[in-house]
Structure 1
C-alpha cells in the first residue's frame, strides 16, 4: 500500500484569518470534488469564515465488490449488502491502516502549520465517515470533533484494543453521526449499532436519523453539520491568543 499514488487534496482556504481546519473525506467511488458544493454552500453563509476545508482524494485501488476493477477507495470492500457480518468478515485492515496513516499525516501538517488539534475536525461520508471515526479516534492529539455520515465503525471487534493502544486521547471528543432511515447501502441498523458500541465504550457520540433519506445527504443534515462545526470551531476574530471556547 506504500506505493499508492495520491493526488493532492482539494483545498478551500479560510475566507478570514485561518484559525481552524476541517478535513472532510468522500465515500467509495467519489473524489473530494463530490463534497465541494457543500463546502461552497457553507462558505456562502459566512458562518465558518475562519475554517480551511481540506477535501482529500482517495487513490484508485481494486475494489472486490466492483469485480476487482479500480476506483477511488480508502480501503477494499468485499461485499456491499449493508450487513454487519459481511463487512466484518472481509475487512481490509492493511488498507484501513494505510488510510489512517494518511489522515494522521494531514492532521499533523495542519498542526505543524500552527493550527492546534482542538481547532481541527475530521469528518466524512460512507467509507469516508468510517475512516473519520477510525482515524479521528486513534489520533495522537485531541481533536475538536468528528463527523461520520451514513457510515459505521471499522474493525469493531477489536476497536477497543486499538484505541487503547493509541492512547485514547479522543475519549471525550464530540462525535456527530447521521444516517438516513432508508439507507440500503450502509443499513441504518449498522449505523445504530456502531453508535451504540461507541456509547458503550464511553464516547460522546450523537446519532441523528433523517426520515426518508437514503444513502445520501439532505439539506437538514448539511445544516446540522454546519451547526456542529460552528459549535466546535467558534470564530476567534482578531484574538491572537485564541481563547474562545467551543460550545458544549
Structure 2
C-alpha cells in the first residue's frame, strides 16, 4: 500500500511551469539534496523542487538498524545488489507515484516533470521513470544502478521509451561501484533507451560542480522555461 510521503518543497521563484522530483539516498532526507535547488533555483525560476523523504526501514546491510530508505539492502557487492528487495522497491514506487500524481493534478503536465535521484534514490528514479504510463520530461540517475534490471525489459512502459536519461557516476565511488553504473547504462541502451552516461574522474559517492552543471544543462534542454 502506497504511503503518503512528506517532502521538502522549494517553490518556483517565478511562474511555476515545471517540476523536478529528486529522491535522496540511503540514510538521508530531502534536506540533503536541497542544495541542488538552492544552486539552480535562480537559474530556473520556473521550476518547483520536490525532495521527498523516504520512510524509515530496517536495513539488513546495517544490522537491521532503522533509517530512511526506499528499500532494504543486504550488501553493496554485485550478488547482494542482485538479491533485491522488490517488494520494498514497488512499495516506494507507489508512494513516489502519488507525489507525481499530486503534481499533475495541480496542473503541471507530466512532460514538464523530471524525476531524478541519487544512489538508492537513483534506483527509484529509474524505476519510476521507466515504468510510468505518463511521459516525463527526463530522468536523472546519479551514482546508482538499475534495479530489477532483467525485468525492466518487459516492465518498461511505452510512454518513456524515448525519454532522455542522464546517468552520472564518479569513477572513484567506493559505495556503488562505477562498474555497476556503467553496466546499468549499457543494459538500458541494449533495451533501446536513450542514455547519456557521464563519468567524473576522482569523484567518490557524492556530487561535484561539474555534475551539477551537467544536470543544469539537462534541465535546460528538456524543461526550459515555457
**TM-score (normalizing by structure 2):** 0.97
Distance 1:145 1:221, change over 3 A: same
CA separation in 2, counterparts of 1:186 and 1:18? 35
Alignment of structure 1 residues 73-88 onto 2, 5 Å: 73-80=69-76, 83-88=77-82
1:53 maps to: 49
Aligned residue among 226, 231, 234 for 2:216: 226
Aligned residue among 196, 202, 206 for 1:216: 206
SS of residue in 1 equivalent to 2:160: coil
SS of residue in 2 equivalent to 1:220: helix
2:27 maps to: 29
Alignment of 1:202 with 2:192, yes or no, is: yes
CA contact 1:138–1:162 (8 Å) conserved in 2: yes
CA separation in 2, counterparts of 1:223 and 1:121? 16
CA contact 1:146–1:173 (8 Å) conserved in 2: yes
Deviation at 1:108, TM superposition (A): 1.2
Aligned residue among 6, 9, 20 for 2:7: 9
- Higher Cα Rg: structure 1 or 2? 1
1:64 maps to: 60
Aligned residue among 121, 126, 139 for 2:114: 121
Alignment of structure 1 residues 93-242 onto 2, 5 Å: 93-163=86-156, 167-236=157-226
- Cα RMSD (Å) of the superposition? 1.2
CA separation in 2, counterparts of 1:139 and 1:3? 15
Deviation at 1:158, TM superposition (A): 1.5
**TM-score (normalizing by structure 1):** 0.89
SS of residue in 1 equivalent to 2:14: coil
Distance 1:155 1:16, change over 3 A: same
CA separation in 1, counterparts of 2:196 and 2:181? 11
Deviation at 1:159, TM superposition (A): 1.4
Deviation at 1:146, TM superposition (A): 0.2
CA contact 2:8–2:51 (8 Å) conserved in 1: yes
1:63-99: per-residue Cα shift (whole Å, max 9, x none)?
000100100000000112xx322211x2001100011
CA separation in 2, counterparts of 1:85 and 1:172? 30
CA contact 1:47–1:230 (8 Å) conserved in 2: no
Deviation at 1:49, TM superposition (A): 0.5
